[in-house]
Amino acid sequence: MYTAVDIITAKRNATELSAEQITWMVNAYTAGDVSDAQFAALAMAIYFHGLSDDELFALTTAMLNSGTTLDFSDLGKPTADKHSTGGVGDKITLPLTPLVASYGVAVPQLSGRGLGHTGGTLDKLEAIPGFCVDLTEHQIRTQLRDLGAVICAATAQLAPADKKIYALRDVTATVDAMPLIASSIMSKKLAEGTDTLVLDVKTGTGAFMQDEADARQLAEKMVWLGKTYGVATSAVLTRMDTPLGYTVGNAIEVEETLEVLAGGGPDDVVELTLTLARHMLAGAGVDADPAEHLANGKAMDTWRAMLTAQQGDPDAPLPTPSHHHTVTAPESGTLSRMDARAIGEAAWRLGAGRQSQGEPVQATAGIRLHAKPGDTITAGQPLLSLYTETPDRIEPAVQILEHAIDTTRTFTAPELIIDVIR
């Protein structure tokens, strides 16, 4: 018989835990038989001592098996999924899902909400009038069979241990523990039951893993976990020092998504969308250039069909903000830095994000960039437009942005795609 104190003591003393000990602890915590304080102590011990590969596999398996798992093998089409570790202006799921689905691949994109400086896919989609993110497993399965594309909230039965453990990590300073990030992401993604998984692992000021070596280690561990479970898994290591695209928020990121689906859009958003789509299609056994379906409108057709299936109105105008404020360039030169974290936090202050789970967000709040690093700017020209429904939020957002922008005489923007880990 195990006890929580014995398991905590062992990990505190850097002793490797058995799969049985880890499984017992996860199950007991999920059932309420182990207290928040006790699991927090274990999480902190893991933060300091890490986990071996065997321990990481056991933790991921225990979290995965804490609820139901999905199986789409009867759909008669290949399945592919994508996960991003979170960034600023990261609307890639929105154009990517219908793009890949337009090639006959089922994409069950079970997504989350924003917390802190990173935005949430579900919050963005709910800016579309009528769009429903809460679907039953039957509805998900039917939509995948008929359209191939679905973006919705994960059901409560999917890896419930992860939901409880994540909430605890959020208030105990253990969110950025690499083994806990890897097991959290992979337990949810493996529970979705897809054949192919492509991970977008971000590094830089706007990412949770700011150090590139740490991000690479996380990517390698997640790819290893996926392959160990028999899922074709790869990771794309991408830079997140500057927001993706020119919009950060909810409705305005949907607006930029429509530009991409119409065959235009910002170069960085298009590049990352196509890169991830190529890996997803290759994993699904589809030999195609996804740029074709952005150019000929087939991706847009799938997007509109997905919106309609989820009660959204693809022709309804997106909501617009009541208040705006312009931040101008402090000096002339070449823009060399637009700090992604600061811009994400400013958008959050304006109402685009939330401070606690369950708090409502403003669909119209956000920030529009009028230049990106590498662009030549003139003192006094508009650099950022701030949007909100709550004018008293503007000043705190402006204060965050005061040290977010730098200029220089010459600047070369670094590559967006750092590496691919297979």
Cβ atoms < 10 Å from Cβ of 189: 24
- Side-by-side strand order, sheet with 405-408: 376-377, 333-338, 405-408
Q: Which of 11, 188, 216, 393 is catalytic?
A: 188
Residues 37, 62, 85: CA angle, nearest 5 degrees: 80
SS3 244: coil
Q: Dump the DSSP string for 63-109.
A: HHTTSB----GGGSS-BEEEEE---SS--THHHHHHHHHTTT-BEEE
Bridge-partner residues for 151, per DSSP? 109
Question: Which residues are CB-neighbours of 383 under 8 A, at least 6 positions away?
Answer: 327, 328, 329, 335, 369, 370, 371, 377, 405
- Classify the phi-psi angles of 31: left when phi > 0, otherwise alpha if psi is within -120 to 50, otherwise beta: alpha
d(CA 105, CA 274): 15
Q: Is 134 a catalytic residue?
A: no
Question: Which residues are CB-neighbours of 78 under 8 A, at least 6 positions away?
Answer: 104, 105, 106, 195, 196, 284, 285, 286
Q: Which of 123, 162, 195, 200 is catalytic?
A: 162
Q: Are 58 and 48 in contact (CB under 8 A)?
A: no
Cβ atoms < 10 Å from Cβ of 155: 18
DSSP3 helix / strand / coil % (the chain, rounded to 5): 45, 20, 40
Q: Is 200 a catalytic residue?
A: no
Q: How far is CA 369 from CA 259, 318, 323, 404, in A?
A: 15, 19, 16, 13
Q: Are 320 and 364 in contact (CB under 8 A)?
A: yes
Q: Which of 183, 184, 187, 234 is catalytic?
A: 184
Q: Is 83 a catalytic residue?
A: yes
SS3 367: strand
C-alpha closest to that of 135 among 107, 113, 156? 156
SS3 334: strand
Structure tokens, 3: 């006890």
Q: Which of 66, 81, 82, 83 is catalytic?
A: 83
Q: Is 162 a catalytic residue?
A: yes
Q: Which of 11, 91, 113, 169 is catalytic?
A: 169
On the CB side of 98, CA atoms within 13 Å amount to 23
Q: Is 184 a catalytic residue?
A: yes
DSSP state, residue 297? S
Active site residues: 83, 162, 169, 184, 188
